[in-house]
Amino acid sequence: MENVATILAKLDSLFETVLYYLSGALLITIACAVFYSVTTRYVFNEPPLWADEAPRAFFLWMTFIGIAVATKRGQNIRVTHFIDMFAPLPRLVLETFMHILVLIMLVALVWYNAPIIQLQAGGSMLSTGWSFVWLYAPVSVGSVLMIFYQIRLALKSFANYQAAVAPGR
């Protein structure tokens, strides 16, 4: 029987794969929607009503899901050239400071986005009829995913430090 850590690792990998392909599917959806919209606007002179709102919602979801996947993979934007030159302890301190700043920013995004979602919950987009929540929820959903993955990156920094200072190295 597989142990719990192996099962969680497989679930984590599956979840990452689902998010990755969902983000890609949203990109394809945006491209098709914009192509359709441009074609109907300039060829048939009959643009669809949803031409602005639907791609915008898809774009927001794609962006925040994609950023979460990049955060999970440690591919978020940062310059490591100088950090790599530091000794293990100063590097750990600097990376921990960076992780704390990122976590503060993400928590602030969720905190200040929650009232906006509540405020917009009663309204709907005119052309699609979708709730405005679909435009504001990606910020919170993506930020919560990034918080989870950022904590894991911080724990990985501690593990890297312990491996660097372990006896026998």
Q: What is the pLDDT of residues 133-159, one digit of tens each?
A: 999 999 999 999 999 999 999 999 899
For 59-102, the pLDDT digits (tens) are: 999 999 999 999 888 877 777 778 888 888 999 999 999 999 99
Tokens 């994609």: give the residue: 66
143: containing domain: 4-165
The pLDDT > 90 percentage for the chain reads: 59
Q: At 67, which amino acid appears?
A: I
Band of the pLDDT at 164, cuts 50, 70, 90? confident
Cβ(64)–Cβ(141) below 8 Å: yes
Residue 75: the pLDDT is: 79
Cβ(32)–Cβ(109) below 8 Å: no
How far, in Å, CA of 45 to CA of 2, rounded? 60
DSSP state for residue 124 in the 8-state scheme: B
Q: What's the total number of domains in the chain?
A: 1
Band of the pLDDT at 119, cuts 50, 70, 90? very high
The three-class DSSP label of residue 86 is coil
Average pLDDT across the chain, whole number: 90
The three-class DSSP label of residue 131 is strand
Give the chain's count of helices (H) and strands (E): 4, 0
Residue 169: the pLDDT is: 52
Cβ(26)–Cβ(65) below 8 Å: yes
Residue 1: the pLDDT is: 55
Residue 8: the pLDDT is: 82
For 1-53, the pLDDT digits (tens) are: 568 878 888 888 999 999 999 999 999 999 999 999 999 999 998 989 888 89
How far, in Å, CA of 95 to CA of 153, rounded? 10
Cβ(55)–Cβ(26) below 8 Å: no
Sorted by sequence, the CB contacts under 8 Å of residue 47 that are 6+ apart come out as: 37, 40, 41
